[in-house]
């Protein structure tokens, strides 16, 4: 994830209080942002099974609305 995308995810998560759906490039897992750490450039996510995890921003990619709809079906 580029810095611009990271900043957008963090702004949406922290300022607008919305969870952003993300995919981990390494594992394929889907998580929803709930906190960003600017010093460590990580994103704290809540996985679909409810567990919490921390992903490096380089391992994250935003999920499009269309992808999210497909995952739910």
- State the average pLDDT over residues 22-37: 94
- In this structure, the strands spanning 21-24 and 60-62 are antiparallel
Split at pLDDT 50, 70, 90, the class of 70 is low
Domain that holds residue 42: 3-64
Q: Is 72 domain-assigned?
A: no
**CA pair distance 56, 40, nearest whole angstrom:** 8
Q: Is 14 domain-assigned?
A: yes
Question: Which residues 6+ apart lie within 8 Å of 14 measured at CB?
Answer: 35, 36
Q: Is the pLDDT of residue 34 over 80?
A: yes
- State the average pLDDT over residues 32-44: 87
Q: Is 28 domain-assigned?
A: yes
Average pLDDT, the chain: 87
Count of domains observed in the chain: 1
pLDDT for 68 equals: 58
pLDDT for 27 equals: 95
Q: Is the pLDDT of residue 38 over 80?
A: no
């Amino acid at each position: 994830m580029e810095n611009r995308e990271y900043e957008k995810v963090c702004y949406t998560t922290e300022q607008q209080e919305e969870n952003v759906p993300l995919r981990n490039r390494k594992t394929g897992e889907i998580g929803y942002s709930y906190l960003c750490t600017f010093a460590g450039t990580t994103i704290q996510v809540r996985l679909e099974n409810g567990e919490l995890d921390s992903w490096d921003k380089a391992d994250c990619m935003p999920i499009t609305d269309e992808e999210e709809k497909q995952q739910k079906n």
